[in-house]
Structure 1
Amino acid sequence: MVTEGPVRPSCCRQGRTRCGHAETRTECEEVAGPTDLSTVQGNLPGALTTFVGRRREVAEIRRLLSEARLVTLTGVGGVGKTRLALEAAFAARTGFADGVWLADLASVPDPSEVAGTVAMALGGLDLGIRPVADHLSSYLSGRQVLLVLDNCEHVIDACAGLVQSLLSSAPGLRILATSRHMLAIPAERLVTVHPLPQTDAVDLLRDRAAAVGPKFQVTDRNWSACARLCRELDGLPLAIELAAARLRTLTVEQVADRLEDRFGLLTSGNRLGPPRQRSLRAMIDYSYELCGPAEQLLWHRLSVFSGSFSLDAAEGVCSGDGMAPSDVMDLLDRLVNQSIVLATDKQGRHARYQLLEAIREYGRERLAESGEEQLLRRRHRDFFLALAQHIDGDWCGPRQAENMARLRAEHGNLRSALRYRADPRATLALAAALRFHWVLGGLLGEGRRQLEHALTAAPEPTPARADGLICGAWVALCQGDHAVTERWLTEAEKLGDDLGLPSVKAWAETLRASLATRQERWAEARALAEAALPAQRALQDGPGEIYALLVLGLLRILLRDPRATQTCQETLAAAEAHGDLMGRGYALWLLGWDAWVRGDLEAGTRFARSSLDTGRGFHDYLGTAQELELLACLSADGGHHNRAARLLGAATAVLRELGTEIAAVNPYAARSRRECEKAVVRALGPQAYGAAFDEGARHSTPAQAIDYGLGSDDTGTGVDTAPDTATNPLTHRENQVAALVAQGKSNQQIASALALSPRTAEFHIKNILAKLAFGSRAQIAAWWTGNHSSAS
C-alpha cells in the first residue's frame, strides 16, 4: 500500500514533470494533486528515481482509462512502457476505490501461470478447486479496480483470454496493459509509446548521470554531445540510463564516439532487426563489454532468477566455479552502480534486487552460450529447496511472520525452481516442503496443482512421496475435497508403514481426525485425535502437536466434553512454548468458542478479539473469517445486534475471497452462524440488518477485517480506550495499548491484560511510536493522557 505522497523535485516546482524508464515512480503534484494516500490500496512499487517528461502521455492514458475498459501501451523494448504505465496508474489511483494493482508477467514463461500470477498480485486468491480465472472473475465482479498487466507479449494469448473474461464479469474493472503486441480484443484502446523527444532525453540523461556522479552537469559546451548521444540511442530510456552510468568515468563525447563504432558493427553484422532494437542491443553490448570478467559472470548467473532476489540467494546460487561467495556482494554493488541491476526494496529487513527484463534476457543468452545454464538452474533449485526445508523445519519460532513474508517474496523463484524437473524427486521434496506456504499463505489452488504434477512425475515409493501425499491431503482437506484427501491419506499411510516413517503415520492420523470431524463422524474423530496427539508429542513435532491439540480441543467442545477447557488451555500453552504465533491465534479462537459455549460472554469476547489481533501480518482468510463469526455470535448473545450484523458482513466478505462458504470447511461453525443470523434479523429487521451487513462487507481482506473487527466497541477488557479524536491515528487495539502504557504497565503486563503475547504487545508499541513519531514510552503516555483529558 502506498503510504506517503511523492517528493516534488525542483524541476516540478518550475512547472515541469520528470520521468524516465526506471521500474518505479514518483510524480509531480501538478499531475495528480495532493491526496490522502492512507486510503489508497494497491501494490505499486515505491519510487526509486524521478519521472522525466511524458506529461501529455500520462494525461492521455488517464483520459482513456475514464472512457475505455482496456488500454494497452505498445512499443519497442526499452522505450519505457512499464515506467509510463506505473506513472499513469499512480496518477489515476484515486479513481479506484478498491485499489491499483500491478501484475508483472515478465518472468512467467508458462501461459497456464498467468491467472495465478494475477491472483498472487491481488493478494493470493488461488484458494479453491475451480479455475483461478473463475475465482478472479468472482473476486473482481463487485470492485472498482485498476489492474496493470505488465510485459504481456510472450504470453499474449493467455493474457487476451483472461482479460476478456475478467472485463465481461467485472464492470468496475479497468486494465492497463503493456506489451510489444496488442491484445486484439474488442474493448482495447492502443497507446503507442514513442522514444523520448530530444529535450526530454537530455533531461533524463542529466538526471540519471547526476545520480551516479553528482558533479555531472549539462552545459553549453557539452549539450550538443549529450543530444548526439541521446539521438544515437533513439531516445530509448533504458539505453540512456545505461549510458548515464558510464558518465562517472567517461565524458559524453567518449561514450558517443564509442557507440558510433558499436552501431557500425551492428549494421554490418548479422544482428538484424528494427533500428531502435539494434540501438538498445548496442547499448547493452557496450555496457556488457565495459564490465570486468567477474561482473559479466555474475550478470550471466543472476539471469537465472525469476523476478527479484535477495543477497543471500545471489551468494548461494551464483558463487563457485571462479567466484567466491564473499565476492558476490561487491560485484552486485558494482552492477547496481552501472544500472545493470536495480535495488528494488530497501525498506524491509533484507534488500532485494532485480534485473530489468531486457537485461535479464541478454544475461540468459550469455548464460546459455557459456554452457552453465543447466548448472545454474540446478543450483537455483537446490538453494530454494534448502530455503523451503529450513523454513518448514523452523516454522515455530519468532521469525514465523518473517518466514511467511519471505516465501511470498520468493514465489516467482519457487515457481521457477519447481519448473526445473531434471530430478522429479527433488521437485516433489520442494513442493512438500512448501506446505505452510500453500495452506497458510492463501495458495491452496496452486499448491494442489504443483503437488499433483510432482506426485505424478515421481511415483516411486520414497519418503519424499510420503511427505508429498501428506501435504497434498492437507491442501485437499482445506479445499473441502474429501475424496482426494481420503485417497492420498490411504496411500501415505501404506507408504509410511512400508518405509517405517512414524511422522507420516502421526500426520495421517491427525488429518484423518480433522476429516472425520468435518464429516461429523464424532466417535471415529475422537479416537483418531486421541491417538494422534501422543504420537506427535513423541516425535517432538511442534506444528503436528499443535494441530492435533486443535482438532482434539474442537472435538471436545462440540461433544460438550468436560475436558474441553483444559485441552484448549493446553493448546495455547503448546503454541506459546513452541513459538507458533498462528497456532496461538487458533488456540485463542478455541478458548473463545469454549467460553461462549459455557456462557461466559466476557471471556469469550476477550479471547476472540485476542485471536483476531494475533492474525495481524498473516494472510489467513479462513482463520480471520472464523474469528469474526465467533465475535458476531458473542455480540448477538450479548444484545449487540447491530455490531453482530456488521461482523457477519465482514466475515462473509473475507470468505467470498476464498471462493467458499464456512459450511464447506467448518459445518459446525456454519450452524452457529445461521442461528446467529436468524437472531440478528429478528432483532433488527431485514432492512436494518442488510444495511449493517453491507457496512461490514466493505472490509474484505484479512488486514481490513481485523482492523474493523477490533475497532468495534466491545473490548471486554475494562480499559478506557479514549481518546477518539480527529487527531488520533491509532487503531482500537493500539489505543488500548497506549492506555496501558500511560498507566505504567510493562510489555508483559500489557500482554497479560489484553491476552496477547509479549511479542505482539511490543509490535503494537512500535507501531504507536512510528505513527506518532515518538521516541519513547513516556511520550506515548503524555500524549494519551493529554488527549484523554481533553476528550473528557
Structure 2
Amino acid sequence: MTRCGNLPAEMNSFVGRVTELDEIAKLLTRTRLLTLRGPGGVGKTRLALRAARNLRDDYPDGVWVAELSAETDGGLLIHGVAGVFGLHTPAERPALESLVEHLADRRLLIVLDTCEHLVDSCAAMVVAVLTGAPDVQIIVTSRQELGLPLEVVMVVEPFPVPPPEAADLADHDAPSLFLDRARAVAPGLRTDDRAMMAVARLCRRLDGMPLAIELAASHMRGLSATQLADQLDVHFKPPADGEGIPVRHHTLRTTAGWSHELCTPAERLLWARLSIFPAAFDTEAARGVCEDERLPDVPGVLAALAAKSVVARVDDRYRLLDTIRDYGRDWLDELGETGLMIRRHRDHYLSTARRMGAEWCGPHQLEWACWAHRELPNIRAALDRCLTTGDHRGALELAGALWVLWCHLGLVREGRHYLDRALAAAPAPDRARSQPLWVAAHLALIQGDMSLARGRAEEAVESAQRHGDGDAEAHALLALAEARLFSGDLSPEGARAYALRVAAGLRPNSPGTFFLPAFLALAATFGGDFDEAVRILREARPGHEARGELSQRAMDDYVLSLALFGRGDIAEASAAARAALEVKRRLRDTLGGVLAIDQLARIAAAEGDGHRAAWLLGAAQRVWTTFGPPATAADTMTALREAVGARATCLIGETAYARAFNEGSASHFEAAVAYALRS
C-alpha cells in the first residue's frame, strides 16, 4: 500500500448522529462485520465514513473505502476492491486469493459502501477476507444485509422529528441539519419562534429523511422557512392505500419531484442526462456527454444544480447521489434519450482514451495516469453497456483504445476480461479487431502466457494486413517479436530484423517508436552484447527527454541497469535501477517497480551486502506473490532471483538471510520502495 487509508474529505459539516456513532464504536469492539442497513437517503454513507474517521487511530494500517455503487459486474467486484489498495491481481491466480494474502497480516478497517446490488458477491468476498485476515474489520452500507452468521446489523433510521409541542429544537438533529444547510445558501436566515415552528413542521413533513431535508434546505435562497414549509404541504400527498410504496421512499421521490419542479428547463434536462454517469465526473466529461444545441452552457447549469444540492461537488468533480440519479434516469427514459446518452457517454470515453494513447509518450503521462484511474468506474460502465446492448464494435474500439490503462497502469486482468469478451462477441473479420488483438497479445506477455501472446499477435498481424492498418501491424509485429524473444527463440540479429519491419510500419511519433530501443537492448543483453545494449539506450534517451516522456524512459533505465551490470559497471547499474524505480513509483506502476527492486537486490548481493539483498528479495517476493510471476522471461527472472538468494545466503548465513528476507516480505510496497532507494 502506498498510503495509510483513503478516507475522502467531508463535503460539508457532519450533523448529529451522536448516539449512532457511539453505538458503532461499541459494536466494533465485539464484531468484525457491521452492516449499516437503511433506505436510500437516510445517511448510511455519511455515518459510516464519520465513524471510520473517528476510529482511524485504532487501525495502524489505515481505513480504506471501496465505493461500489458504480460497479455492476459482480465478477469484477474483487478487482475493484483490490484496486483500492493499489493491488493488481494476475490472471493465473484467483483474485480473491491475492486480496486475502495482501490483507492477511494487516490491521485495518474496510468500508464497503453501497452493496445492495452485489449482495452475493460481497458476502463471498467478506467471508474470505475475514477468514484469512484476522485483524481486518469491515463496515458495510446497504439497503439489504448480507445474511451472514457473523454479521451484526445496525438499522439506520431517519432523524427523529420534533413533536408539534416542542418548544426548543436545539437538541433535535433534523432541524439542526436543515438550519446548517440552509445557512449555507441563506446566511441571513431568520430563527425566531415562527420560523423555527415552520422548520419543525418541514422536518416532520419530510419524515426526518436527511437527503430530503438537505434538498429542501438548498431552496431557502429567497424564501422564508414558513414559505418553504407551505410549498411542501401543497406538494406532499400520502401514498394511497394499497399502492405498496414505503412512506420514506415516497418522501424522497416527492422531495426529488418538488426539487425538479423548482429547476429551470435546462437544469431538468441536465439532471436527466447526468444520470448516465454511474459515478463521479468532471466538467469536461459533463460537457462531452451532455452539451448540445439544447444545452449550450453545461458548466453554468451544472453550477446551478450544485447550488440546489442536486449534484454534490467534491473538489473539481461532481456526483449524483443514488436516489437523485434514479429520479433523473426515470426522466431520461421519459424524454426518450437513454440510448442517445449511452452512445454519447461511450463516444466521450472512446475519444478521450484515444487522446490518452496518442499523447502517452509525452509530457502529460502523470496527468493521464490520474485521469485513467479516476475515471475507471465510468470506463467500466461504458464497456459493460457496449457488451450488454450488443454494441460489439464499440466494445472492441474502446477496449483497444484503453491499451495504456491495461498495459502500463497495472489493470492487466481487467484488460483481459474486457478484451476477451469483446473479441469473442465480434469474431468476424473487422478492422476494429486489429488494435484489441495486439493489445491482448501484450497483456498475455505481461502475464507470461507466451503461447497466447504469439497467437493473438499473429492474428493481429493478419487482421492489420487485411485492412491496410500499418501502425497496428507494426505493434502486432513488436508483440510477436517480444513473445519470441522471451521464449528464447529469437537472436539479436532476428530482433533487429523485426525492429526494421516494425519501424517501417509505424506512424511518426507512434508509441511503438519509443518501445523499440528497450526491445533491441533487451535482445542484445540476452545475447551477451552489453556494450551494444548500453549504446542503444543512451542514443535513445535524448528523444525521450525531448518529449518529456517518463514511463518508457524508466523501462529503458531498468534494461540499462541489466546491461551495465552485465559488463561490470555496478555503481552505474545501481543508479539506473533507482532512477527506474523512482518513476515507476510516481506512475503507480507496481510491476515496473518490483522489477527494479529485484535488480537492486542483485546489485546488493554483488556488492557484498547480503542483508540488503535478502531484505529486497523478501519485499519483491511479497509483490510477486500478490501480483503474479515476473512478467517477462519468467524462468530467467526466477533463476536470477535464486542466484541472488544463494549469494546472499553465502554472505550472511541461512539464519540471518531468513530473518532479513522475512523482514522485507512484511513491508508495505511503499516502505520497500523507500528502502530500495536509500543508498
Q: Same fold (TM over 0.5)?
A: yes
TM-score, normalization by structure 1 = 0.81
Report the Cα distance in structure 2 between the residues aligned to 1:426 and 1:649, rounded to whole angstroms.
Answer: 44
> Contact between 1:127 and 1:443, CA under 8 Å: does it hold in 2?
no
Matches within 5 A, 1:712-751: 712=678, 714=679
- Mark the CA change 1:271 to 1:216 in structure 2 (over 3 Å): closer, same or farther: farther
Correspondence for 1:603:
572
Residue 274 (structure 1) aligned with residue 246 (structure 2): yes
Take 2:13 and 2:206, find their aligned partners in 1: how far apart are those partners?
20
1:399 aligns with 2:364: yes
Which amino acid letter does the alignment assign opposite residue 134 of structure 2?
Answer: P
What is residue 550 of structure 1 aligned with on the other side?
518
Match in the other structure for 1:503: 471
Task: Quote the Cα distance in structure 2 between the aligned partners of 1:456 and 1:471.
Answer: 15
Could you say if the C-alpha distance between residues 529 and 229 of structure 1 is closer, same or farther in structure 2, counting changes exceeding 3 Å?
Answer: farther
Residue 635 (str. 1) matches residue 616 (str. 2): no
Unaligned regions of 5+ residues in structure 2, if any? 162-171
Amino acid at match of 2:217: A
One-letter amino acid of the counterpart of residue 661, structure 2: F
Q: Which moved more, 1:55-64 or 1:401-410?
A: 55-64
1:482-493 alignment runs, 5 A limit: 482-493=450-461
Structure 1 residues 250-276: Cα deviation after superposition (integer angstroms, max 9, x where no partner): 111112122122222x43498641212
* Residues 524-582 of structure 1: CA deviation (Å, up to 9, x unaligned): x6514542256326623442123222121112112211412112213433432443201
Aligned equivalents of 1:611, 1:581: Cα separation in 2: 9
Does the alignment pair 1:613 with 2:582?
A: yes
Tell me which of 591, 596, 604 is aligned to 1:622: 591
Q: How has the CA–CA distance of structure 1 residues 665 and 446 changed in structure 2, closer, same or farther, with 3 Å as cutoff? A: farther
| 2:4–2:62 contact (8 Å) kept in structure 1 | yes
Give yes or no for the alignment of 1:84 onto 2:47: yes
Contact 1:82 1:150 in 2 (8 A): yes
Which residue in the other structure is 1:195 paired with? 158
Is the contact between residue 87 and residue 626 of structure 2 (CA under 8 Å) also seen in structure 1?
no
Distance 2:533 2:547 in 1: 21
Give the counterpart of 1:323 among 273, 281, 295.
295
Q: How many residues align?
A: 664
Q: Write the distance in 2 (CA, Å) between the matches of 1:125 and 1:621.
A: 8
Query: Residue 249 of structure 1 aligns to which amino acid in structure 2?
Result: G
Q: Please name the residue that 2:284 is paired with.
A: 312
Alignment of 1:512 with 2:480, yes or no, is yes
Residue in structure 2 matching 1:645, options 593, 598, 614:
614
Cα distance change on mapping 1:663 and 1:49 into 2, 3 Å: closer
Partners of 1:502 and 1:608 in 2: CA distance? 34
Q: Which secondary structure state, in structure 1, belongs to the residue aligned with residue 239 of structure 2?
A: helix
Question: Structure 2 vs 1, CA of residues 70 and 516 (structure 1 numbering), >3 Å: closer, same or farther?
Answer: same
Q: Deviations over 1:72-96 (max 9, x none)?
A: 0001111110100111112222222
Do structure 1's residue 216 and structure 2's residue 160 form an aligned pair?
Answer: no
User: Which residue does 2:169 correspond to in 1?
Assistant: none
Deviation at 1:492, TM superposition (A): 1.3
| Residue 416 of structure 2 is aligned to residue 451 of structure 1 | no
Check conservation: 1:40, 1:97, Cα contact below 8 A. Answer: no
Aligned to 2:658: 690
Aligned to 2:125: 162
Distance in 2 separating the partners of 1:619 and 1:537: 33
Residues 96 and 145, structure 1, Cα contact 8 Å, conserved in 2:
yes
Instruction: Specify the SS of the correspondent of 1:119.
Output: helix
Please give the per-residue CA displacement for 1:95-143, whole angstroms capped at 9, x wherever unaligned: 2233221111112233333223222323252443344333322322332
Residue 436 of structure 1 deviates from its aligned partner by 1.0
Equivalent position of 1:726 in the other structure: none
Letter in 2 for 1:482: M
Instruction: Give a deviation string over 1:417-444, Cα, whole Å, max 9, x none.
Output: 1122243112101100101101121211
Verify the 8 A CA contact 1:209 1:247 in the aligned structure 2: yes
**8 A Cα contact 1:310 1:352, kept in partner:** yes
SS, match of residue 67 in structure 1: coil
Over 3 Å counting, the alpha-carbon distance change for 1:663 and 1:246 in structure 2 is: closer
Q: What amino acid is the match of 2:329?
A: R
Structure 1 segments unaligned to the other structure (5+ residues): 2-38, 715-792
Q: 1:491 to 1:522 in 2, by over 3 A?
A: closer
Q: Residues 568-602 of structure 1, C-alpha deviation per residue, up to 9 Å, x if partnerless? A: 21343343244320111111112222221111121
Counterpart in the other structure of 1:333: 303
SS of residue in 2 equivalent to 1:343:
strand
1:207 aligns with 2:187: no
Check the 8 A contact 2:565/2:573 in 1, yes or no: yes
Query: Is 1:460 paired with 2:428?
Result: yes
The match for 2:498 is: 531
Q: Distance in 2 between matches of 1:663 and 1:150?
A: 33
AA aligned opposite 1:412: P
**Post-superposition shift, 1:473?**
0.8
Specify whether residues 133 and 665 from structure 1 end up closer, same or farther in structure 2 by C-alpha distance, changes over 3 A only: farther
- State the SS of the aligned residue for 1:125: coil
Instruction: Assess if the C-alpha contact under 8 Å between 1:646 and 1:693 holds in 2.
Output: yes
CA distance in 2, matches of 1:84, 1:496: 54
Q: Retained in 2: the 8 A contact 1:533–1:549?
A: no
- On the 8 A contact 2:271/2:328 being kept in 1, the answer is yes
Distance 1:407 1:625 in 2: 22
SS of residue matched to 1:47: coil
Structure 2 match to 1:245: 218
Change beyond 3 A, Cα 1:173–1:362: same
- In 2 relative to 1, CA 529–256 (structure 1 residues): closer, same or farther, beyond 3 Å? farther
Within the candidate set 323, 340, 344, 1:358 is matched to 323
Alignment of 1:470-481 (within 5 A): 470-481=438-449
Distance (whole Å) between structure 1 residues aligned to residue 29 and residue 504 of structure 2: 60
Q: d(CA) in 2 for partners of 1:580 and 1:698?
A: 33
Change (3 A) 1:273 1:188: same
Tell me the equivalent position of 1:654. Answer: 623
**Counterpart Cα distance in 1 of 2:219 and 2:271:** 17
> Distance between the aligned counterparts of 2:90 and 2:410, measured in 1?
6
Q: Secondary structure at the match of 1:101?
A: strand
Per the TM alignment, residue 626 of structure 1 is displaced from its structure 2 partner at its CA by 1.0
Q: 2:672 aligns with which of 705, 708, 719?
A: 705
Report the Cα distance in structure 2 between the residues aligned to 1:127 and 1:255, rounded to whole angstroms. 56
1:414 aligns to 2:379 (yes or no): yes
Question: What does residue 355 of structure 2 align with?
Answer: 390
Amino acid at match of 1:503: D
Local SS of the residue matching 2:249: helix
CA–CA separation in structure 1 for the residues paired with 2:525 and 2:309 = 60
2:228 aligned partner = 255
SS in 2 for 1:128: coil
Give the CA deviation at 1:62: 2.3
Q: Does residue 141 of structure 1 match 2:136?
A: no
1:618/1:610 Cα in 2 relative to 1: closer, same or farther (>3 Å)? Answer: same
Q: Name the CA distance, whole Å, in 1 between partners of 2:501 and 2:428.
A: 30
The answer for the alignment partner of 1:15 in structure 2 is none
AA in 2 matched with 1:236: M
1:367 pairs, out of 329, 332, 336, with 332
Query: What secondary structure sits across from 1:420 in the alignment?
Result: helix
Partner of 1:592: 561
Partners of 1:663 and 1:413 in 2: CA distance: 28
1:74 to 18, 33, 37: 37
Moved more, 104-113 or 662-671: 662-671
- Report the CA distance shift for 1:609/1:213 in structure 2 as closer, same or farther (over 3 A): same
> What SS class does the counterpart of residue 616 from structure 1 fall into?
helix
For the 8 Å contact 2:42–2:209, the answer to whether it is kept is yes
Structure-2 separation of matches of 1:465 and 1:40 = 39
Alignment of 1:91-106 (within 5 A): 91-106=54-69
SS of alignment partner, residue 585 of structure 2: coil
Q: Which moved more, 1:585-594 or 1:380-389?
A: 585-594
Indicate conservation of the 8 Å contact 1:532/1:548, yes or no: yes
Deviation at 1:664, TM superposition (A): 6.7
Q: Deviations over 1:758-779 (max 9, x none)?
A: xxxxxxxxxxxxxxxxxxxxxx
The answer to whether the Cα contact below 8 Å between 2:363 and 2:547 also exists between their aligned partners in 1 is: no
Contact 2:67 2:113 in 1 (8 A): yes
